[in-house]
Structure 1
């Protein structure tokens, strides 16, 4: 009596399975059609550069000299496969003439190379991979896409700079130069897959990045010494580079042949990101099928930034996910019995509304697993003078209020915020570990730009006078500058996403941040007590006097 019922159930399940399979196939086909309707992949999205470093070469590429030699061959390969094949025909003028068509020849900026532009295709004049263009990094005084070293004559110590995913050593250049001016030898390491073509993001692994980091650390330990041994080594990491810095500090616990790290400075650190990043592994698999090559990319954009890829790959997101998971797992395991007491003193600089990484993870995954009284967190609040709560999607006030009121925080907390909602004046509110109230209020000279809402993930390491991301000079010099870029028009007219245009690109409070970084590294370098959050008196900013006529509505 049950056989007809079983047959019916089996038939229903079979039809359901067929229907579900058809639905999945239909969704995949529609997704493929949507991909093909989007931006096309350019040669720099497809090129394979065989001279790139990988972890498999670590036994052969052992020193920075080896790494630099390989890097030299890599950039020669990039020239041959991309730049030489993308040159425009000669005979029609210069890129500068294309960028400034209304100027007389005598008033054009310095030529960026006698390579002609097609006046009907202005985008070539702004393309990173067009020789001599305004975005060609090779036409700048220094090509910051390459690893660099700033040597000090009588160094106090050394600093390794680790940039983030999709950018280059340029991102920490300003802070590195400030540390060099204070007597440190600075190594800005180009991580594998970066500084060349976005296609490098398709194949790299976080193990490649870790292997390169170890080469940089060993180089500083071997070359920056006082005759008795290596001088203190500090590591500064930005975004994914910050996760690599934490990983390097943890690696030292398992391998005492690795150099000891004296302190860490982490800028917008990728300690935790959205778990959804793990789904990108399926996009990588889908991209292997014919017609689905665009699936390997989460963003395909024009490449007009000389020191950062605008396009981003699914694999890059996956590798950030993997390294953050690895760091979180190790921190959780090592601190299971007690907080880590021998972890290097760590300073973190972060926007409260960073959407690329998780501010909560910095507290919960990192600082709460470290021994107290050795670490500090500097948070940049939103511009509370410019906004009112109703227009905010998410106000970070609950997060910052919770931290300020928590008497059990094991680290020093500083919040850079408005003195109050009715004033443009800014202050740095500092709360010592183990207290539930602000213990120091420092007035700051800097204020928010009138049109700025907040800092983003990418802003903190760049000063306002940064030649690429800072406030643009009043007279263009023929090279791209993004800090003052403000385009207005209808939706869908330009290829650049609105969220890209909204970011400020520089840090108005960079001077305060730089002093905090210098104070931190110098204090840790001296071997004394932990670096205190309050900067030395001679470095303090004088607070600007507010005009008595200033209205609360003054921008």
Structure 2
């Protein structure tokens, strides 16, 4: 009798738990559907999906075949999007309108496409450049040109799903990006064979792919090994919410709720980066970060990390896109003494900003910085004092506890309180994102030079976009470090 009552009681609570979970799921789904339906209507660039190459094709393709398919993609986008735009979307702020000043097809160089650069004379090395999520090869073009000046050949690959229309990210997989990375490295080594140095530069999600490729090399010696990794704002860790973000797109299996497949539906006024963001993009990026963290841990446990290339990483202390702490805990704390370095860029600590910064932001550097001695070099760019805009380099060598302080000759601009995730690869003169854009390289819009004031609700873009720093006041420091690596062997 007692056992019967116990089973009945347990069954009753299981039913209650099931009902609770079901009600919670229905409520969450209802909120998600309501939120999705409030978004703007989908346009052609959200619904037309170009036929990009996938991993199994890319792994068997040559660079020339990849470029040929890429050319077909852009032709298809013109035919199925640009040429079919309804009248109300043929506006200057639409990158897909051929009459717009921001239409990339009219630029001297369309940096949405893959490219190779060759130096004058025989190359003394080769660099592979990997851009970020929703981005395009444009984002690393300045660093590419710097490598070219340093005598390196450069391969800049457009990762699958990018550079065309945001809907390209709705069907892409992390495996497609990884295959494109392998293809770019194969092409780099075809252009400049070993033993000439090979550098891989990755920005944001591209930084994760650069690291993932180098981890793959540890188990597959047939893959060309990089001599250096240079990572900018690498996506080693992102919010745990991204693990479940794919569930948010489930209602999109019903045509009436197609907008649920999108986290953001925003006007496409940037000629070299998507503003709209599909759920699948976040999901695939999360998969890359989880794979990296697991592979780093496995390689450390098996004693393989000693073969990882020396890694130089530049990271803003404040970053709302990737986890700065994950870069330290999931990567650098695992590395052996192999000549790696982490450069953290602190907030602007001048007195005028202190009253406006949250306490947690003011303490971010102290909270994040590992305590030496460390197996890698830790460098911090920070104000010389709380009242000085001058920036110094505080560098602690491996196995040391005291930092060496050197002036950089740089100042923190008085109206900038921190760097941002998106700022690192762009100089102040960048045509699109710079504060003082190069007048000889017009791309139809100057997003970084805007400092607007007015009433709310008048612009097609939110105020958060206009306040986020898009250019890097310390870009010169980054390229000087890259120049040094390019000039001093592997």
Task: Please indicate the TM-score interval, normalised by the length of the shorter structure.
Answer: over 0.9
Instruction: Tell which structure's C-alpha radius of gyration is larger.
Output: 1
Name 1:541's counterpart in structure 2.
Answer: none
Name 2:343's counterpart in structure 1.
Answer: 378
1:10-42: CA deviation from partner (whole Å, max 9, x where unpaired): 789767855764564354234323321221111
Per the normalisation by structure 1, the TM-score is 0.82
Change (3 A) 1:442 1:12: closer
Deviation at 1:209, TM superposition (A): 0.4
Deviation at 1:143, TM superposition (A): 0.2
RCO (CA 8 Å, sep 6+): is it higher in 1 or 2?
A: 2
Name 1:434's counterpart in structure 2.
Answer: 399
Change (3 A) 1:328 1:311: same
Deviation at 1:376, TM superposition (A): 0.8
Deviation at 1:469, TM superposition (A): 0.4
Name 1:292's counterpart in structure 2.
Answer: 257
Name 1:305's counterpart in structure 2.
Answer: 270
Alignment map for 1:10-29 (pairs within 5 Å)? 21-22=22-23, 24-29=25-30
Change (3 A) 1:213 1:478: closer
Change (3 A) 1:381 1:191: same
- Matching residue within 411, 416, 434 for 1:447: 411
1:480 aligns with 2:445: yes
Residue 271 of structure 1 contacts residue 361 of structure 1 at CA under 8 Å; is this kept in 2?
Answer: yes
Q: Write the distance in 2 (CA, Å) between the matches of 1:216 and 1:522.
A: 22
Q: Give structure 1 stretches of 5+ with no counterpart.
A: 89-117, 528-555
Per the normalisation by structure 2, the TM-score is 0.92
1:263 aligns with 2:231: no
1:285-327: CA deviation from partner (whole Å, max 9, x where unpaired): 2321343222211111110000000111111111111111111
Change (3 A) 1:411 1:10: closer
Q: Write the distance in 2 (CA, Å) between the matches of 1:519 and 1:244.
A: 24
Q: Write the distance in 1 (CA, Å) between the matches of 2:17 and 2:306.
A: 57
1:375-403: CA deviation from partner (whole Å, max 9, x where unpaired): 11111111111545453235455453467
Residue 449 of structure 1 contacts residue 508 of structure 1 at CA under 8 Å; is this kept in 2?
Answer: yes
Name 1:45's counterpart in structure 2.
Answer: 46
- Matching residue within 179, 187, 190 for 2:155: 187
Change (3 A) 1:361 1:28: closer
Name 1:58's counterpart in structure 2.
Answer: 58
1:257-279: CA deviation from partner (whole Å, max 9, x where unpaired): 11111101000001111111111
Change (3 A) 1:405 1:504: closer
- Matching residue within 282, 291, 296 for 1:331: 296
Q: Write the distance in 2 (CA, Å) between the matches of 1:67 and 1:292.
A: 34
Deviation at 1:490, TM superposition (A): 4.0
Q: Write the distance in 1 (CA, Å) between the matches of 2:251 and 2:199.
A: 41
Name 1:467's counterpart in structure 2.
Answer: 431
| Number of residue pairs the alignment of both structures matches | 487
Deviation at 1:212, TM superposition (A): 0.8
1:202-233: CA deviation from partner (whole Å, max 9, x where unpaired): 111110001011111111112213xxx55221
Change (3 A) 1:20 1:335: closer
1:134 aligns with 2:101: yes
Q: Write the distance in 1 (CA, Å) between the matches of 2:351 and 2:259.
A: 40
Change (3 A) 1:383 1:170: same
Change (3 A) 1:435 1:264: same
- Matching residue within 212, 225, 243 for 1:278: 243
Residue 161 of structure 1 contacts residue 187 of structure 1 at CA under 8 Å; is this kept in 2?
Answer: yes
Deviation at 1:446, TM superposition (A): 2.7
Deviation at 1:492, TM superposition (A): 3.9
